[in-house]
């Protein structure tokens, strides 16, 4: 059965999130402290332990940087942009990673520009989060379909569809909540950050998924062209 998701209204406040971040960071810190103490006692540096310590530090760094995207009031410069171009840049950035995982991007972009009023870096962040999830969902490789087109109702529709493991139905209602993750090195913040950003663009983000079949994320954003034209007409 297909499940649908629209969850922007369920997002927690930054305050609650901060408590969660503190909790999430405490675990790797405890590990780090343990290993350091061991090295102090044995006066020896075990390379395996150092690797673990580095990966715990990376994890803290990731949690903090994802949290900052949410918590820091960023200088936002909304501009009229073609999302096809933004997506192309992200895809070329992720190309090597996709290739390493046997993942192929298949694009289906409209011929005409898909203009939205957006903060480019934030949208890039969303696309990176979603594409990384798609790649991570296909450990044996596969195809990610990316569709982008302006819709007749002055909206732009962006679809990212993978053929990965899918999301268990019991997890669906919790997507977008912080720290929901089934990955060893996951933060469970990517979807939440993405939903926040799309919400800030007056858009919607929906997830449909079927276990063993794949996952489809649909983003709908208001088209910018129509708004600009109206304003131009008013001025003349
Ligand atoms: P993270 O990737 O750090 O785990 P996210 O917020 O990006 O955090 O995703 C939360 C969880 O949602 C993932 O751990 C995974 O269980 C599930 N998920 C998200 N996207 C997909 C996808 N494309 N395919 C399968 N599961 C997904
Ligand atoms: Mg993720």
The tens-digit pLDDT sequence of the chain (236 residues) is 233 333 333 344 556 667 778 878 888 899 899 999 999 999 988 899 999 999 899 889 888 887 776 666 666 789 999 999 999 999 998 988 899 999 999 999 999 999 999 999 889 989 999 999 999 999 999 999 999 999 989 999 999 999 999 999 999 999 988 888 888 778 888 898 899 899 999 999 999 999 999 999 999 999 986 554 444 444 44
Nearest to 167 by CA among 199, 203, 129, 136: 136
In the prediction, which pLDDT does 191 show? 92
Nearest to 72 by CA among 118, 14, 28, 116: 14
Tell me how far the alpha carbon of residue 35 lies from the centroid of ligand 2, in angstroms: 28
Tell me how far the alpha carbon of residue 136 lies from the centroid of ligand 2, in angstroms: 8
134 touches ligand 1 (CB under 6 Å): yes
Tell me the torsion sign for CA atoms 137, 181, 218, 109.
negative
In the prediction, which pLDDT does 188 show? 86
Tell me how far the alpha carbon of residue 150 lies from the centroid of ligand 2, in angstroms: 26
Q: Which ligand is nearest to the CA of 161?
A: 1
195 touches ligand 1 (CB under 6 Å): no
In the prediction, which pLDDT does 7 show? 36
DSSP state of 173: G
Contact 20, 70 (CB under 8 A): no
137 touches ligand 1 (CB under 6 Å): yes
In the prediction, which pLDDT does 29 show? 92
Residue 227 CB contacts under 8 Å (≥ 6 apart), including other chains = 117
Tell me how far the alpha carbon of residue 187 lies from the centroid of ligand 1, in angstroms: 9
Mutate to test the pocket of ligand 1, among 59, 191, 195 (most ligand atoms within 8 A of CB): 191
Residue in the block written with tokens 């493991």: 165
180 touches ligand 1 (CB under 6 Å): yes
Residues having C-beta closer than 5 Å to ion ligand 2: 133, 190
Parallel/antiparallel/unpaired status of strands 79-82 and 115-118: antiparallel
182 touches ligand 1 (CB under 6 Å): yes
Contact 137, 179 (CB under 8 A): no
In the prediction, which pLDDT does 226 show? 54
142 touches ligand 1 (CB under 6 Å): no
Question: What is the number of the ligand 1 atom nearest to the C-alpha of 129?
Answer: 7
**Is the model's pTM score more than 0.90?**
no
Rounded to whole angstroms, the Cα distance separating 141 from 135 reads 8
Rounded to 5°, angle at Cα 226 from 234 and 219 = 150
In the prediction, which pLDDT does 8 show? 34
CA dist list (Å): 82 to 51, 103, 113, 134, 166: 42, 25, 6, 23, 30
In the prediction, which pLDDT does 16 show? 62
């Amino acid at each position: 059965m297909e499940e649908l998701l629209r969850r922007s209204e369920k997002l927690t406040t930054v305050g609650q999130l901060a408590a969660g971040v503190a909790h999430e960071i405490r675990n790797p810190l405890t590990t780090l402290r343990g290993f350091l103490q061991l090295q102090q006692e044995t006066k020896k540096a075990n390379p395996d332990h150092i690797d673990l310590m580095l990966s715990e530090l990376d994890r803290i760094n990731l949690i903090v940087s994802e949290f900052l995207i949410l918590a820091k009031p960023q200088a936002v410069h909304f501009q009229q942009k073609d999302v096809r171009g933004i997506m192309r840049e992200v895809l070329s950035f992720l190309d090597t990673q996709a290739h390493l995982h046997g993942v192929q991007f298949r694009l289906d972009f409209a011929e005409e520009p898909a203009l939205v009023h957006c903060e480019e870096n934030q949208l890039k962040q969303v696309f990176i989060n979603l594409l990384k999830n798609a790649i991570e969902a296909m450990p044996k490789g596969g195809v990610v379909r990316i569709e982008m087109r302006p819709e007749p109702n002055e909206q732009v529709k962006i679809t990212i569809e993978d053929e990965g493991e899918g999301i268990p139905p019991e997890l669906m209602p919790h997507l977008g909540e912080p720290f929901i993750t089934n990955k060893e090195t996951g933060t469970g913040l990517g979807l939440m950050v993405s939903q926040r950003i799309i919400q800030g663009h007056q858009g919607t983000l929906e997830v449909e998924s079927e276990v063993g079949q794949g996952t489809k994320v649909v983003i709908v954003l208001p088209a910018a062209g129509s708004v600009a034209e109206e304003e131009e007409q008013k001025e003349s």
